[in-house]
Amino acid sequence: MNIRSFFEAENNVKKPKIELHCYHKFAAAAFLMGAFTFLGIALINSKTFVVLAVLLALAAVIELVMTVRFFKMIKGHSIQQEDELARQIMYKASRMTAGVLILSGGIIELIFSLTNGSFTIDSSNVACLLFGIYLFAAGIKSLFFVLLDRVSDGEDE
Amino acid sequence: MSVLKTKLKEYRAISNMKQGELAELVGVRRETIIRLEKGQYVPSLKLAMDIASVFGTTVEELFSFEE
């Protein structure tokens, strides 16, 4: 008996693939929801507690449902690999994401200086803030990929 | 500026091949084949040669650039 058979599925049939475009649609929504959750956690304080707690609880429920649906969707499937065009589009999407991050940082600074707003960044929320920004960047990148990779309906065949 | 022209659609029609089938044969996505046919994407040499070999023709026959 081959020991590898314990760890590998007996699968002579080619596994169907989740299209890359479809995967990135889901990924964009999931990453952006995660980003707003973690940014919300970073911003929460005694003044904003009630409102943010309700919103974060709602977001957590939606994210849980999305996670279950995602794993149900990919069960038994593999995700389509990037081809040369997808790599080019992803590179373009990355550059556009960098632009969006710079722009959004500038807009946030403007808003804060106009409204005299601010929030404290300390050891309690810096990790959430950084992770939230990472998720935001990943979500925007997936979103740009989906937008740049669109083809018109009815083009098949 | 040069524009890519292809005879991909004609060759697919002759071979009775769908875009998805061709995409799978050459290891790319269907979206790539769609953009190739519309001349919106310039393929790599390897991809062009793979597509040409699927149809039993040459790269020059399938793809050309026009001013």
Confidence bin at A156 (pLDDT 50/70/90): low
Is B19 strand, coil or helix? Answer: helix
Asked if A19 and B29 come within 8 Å (Cβ–Cβ), the reply is yes
Nearest to B38 by CA among B1, B8, B2: B8
Give me the count of residues in chain B: 67
Measured between beta carbons, the chain B residues lying within 8 angstroms of A86 are 29, 31-32
Q: What would the two tokens of residue B16 be? A: 């009775």
Give me the count of residues in chain A: 157
Say yes or no: ipTM exceeds 0.95.
no
The per-residue pLDDT for A14 is 59
pLDDT by residue (tens digit) across B3-50? 889 999 999 999 999 999 999 999 999 999 999 999 888 999 999 999
How far apart CA A113 and CA A111 sit, in angstroms, is 6
Q: What would the two tokens of residue B12 be? A: 């697919």
Measured between beta carbons, the chain B residues lying within 8 angstroms of A83 are 27-29, 32
How far apart CA A60 and CA A95 sit, in angstroms, is 30
Asked if B32 and A84 come within 8 Å (Cβ–Cβ), the reply is yes
* Mean of pLDDT values over A53-77: 88
* Mean of pLDDT values over A93-108: 95
pLDDT surpasses 90 at B51: yes
DSSP secondary structure string for all residues of chain A: --GGGGTS----SPPPEE-HHHHHHHHHHHHHHHHHHHHHHHH--TTTHHHHHHHHHHHHHHHHHHHHHHHHHHTT-EEPPP-HHHHHHHHHHHHHHHHHHHHHHHHHHHHHHHHT------TTTHHHHHHHHHHHHHHHHHHHHHHHT---TT---
The per-residue pLDDT for A153 is 59
